[in-house]
Structure 1
C-alpha cells in the first residue's frame, strides 16, 4: 500500500522562489502545487485540498491577508504559513488573527518553512531584543499599521499620516529597515 504524501500549495508570484521551493519540498516527500495569483490559488486549493500552504503576503494583484480567509473557507484544516519580504508587526498580528499558523520573513528556506509548520505553540523563551527598534523601524511599523487600517489604500494612508502620496509610495518601495 502506497503512503499518502502530504499536499502542499505554494502561493507566490516570484517564479524563481516557487521553482526552488517546489523542488525542495518535493524532495521532502510533498505533493506540491504552485499558484501565482489568488484566483489560481483558490482553484488549486479546491481541487487538491492541501494540508499545508505557504502564502506570500504581497502578491501582484492582492494582499495575502485578503486571500487567507478565502483559502481557509475552501480548505478549513489547511495549515498556512505566511511569507513576506515586507514584514511588520501589524501584518504578522493580522495574519495570525486571520488563521495563519506562522509568519516568516523572507528569505526563508525549506527548513525554515518546515520548522514553521511544525510549531504548534508559542515559545515563552523566545529571545527579546537587546535594544529598542530604531526610529526608522518604528516609522516603517507605523506606516504598515496605518496602511493595514486603510485596507492597503495608499491615498487614504497618506492622508491619515499627513504626507504626500508619492512620498509614501517611495517609502513603501524601500525594503523595511532592520532593528
Structure 2
C-alpha cells in the first residue's frame, strides 16, 4: 500500500488547480484583443478659467458619451451575433439529434420486424411439428385399434373353432366317468 503524505497531496492538488487556472488566464491574455487607447486619457489640461474648464469638460463628456454609445452598440451587435450563432449551433445539434433518434427508431423498428418474422417462422415450425406429431399419434392409435380388432377377431375365431369340439352336458358326465375309471 502506498502512503501519501497529506501535505504533499494537498500541495499537488493545489498546484494542479492553479496550473489550470493560470493556463486559462495566460491563454486569455494571449488571445484577447484590446481596443486602441482612448484619446480622452491624458488629454485634460486644466484651463485657468473655470467656465472654460466646465465647457471643455461638458464637451469631453459628450464625446465620451458618443463613443460609449458606439461601443455599446458594437457590443450589443456582437452579443446578438453570438446569440444567433449559438442558436444556429443549438438548432443544428437538435436537428442532428432528431435525425439520429429517427435513425435509431427506424433501426429498432426493423429489428422488431425481423424478430416478429423469426417468431412467426418459429411458431409455424412448431405448428407443423405439432401437426406431424398428432398425425403420427393418430396413425399409431389407428394401428393399435386395428391390431386390437384383429386380436378380437382371432380370439372369436379361435373360440368358434374350439366350440366345434365342445362336448354336450350329457356326454360330459360320461366322459368324466370314463376319465375317472381310466385313472384307477
Higher strand share: 1
TM over 0.5: no
Output the TM-score relative to the length of structure 2. 0.15
Output the TM-score relative to the length of structure 1. 0.15
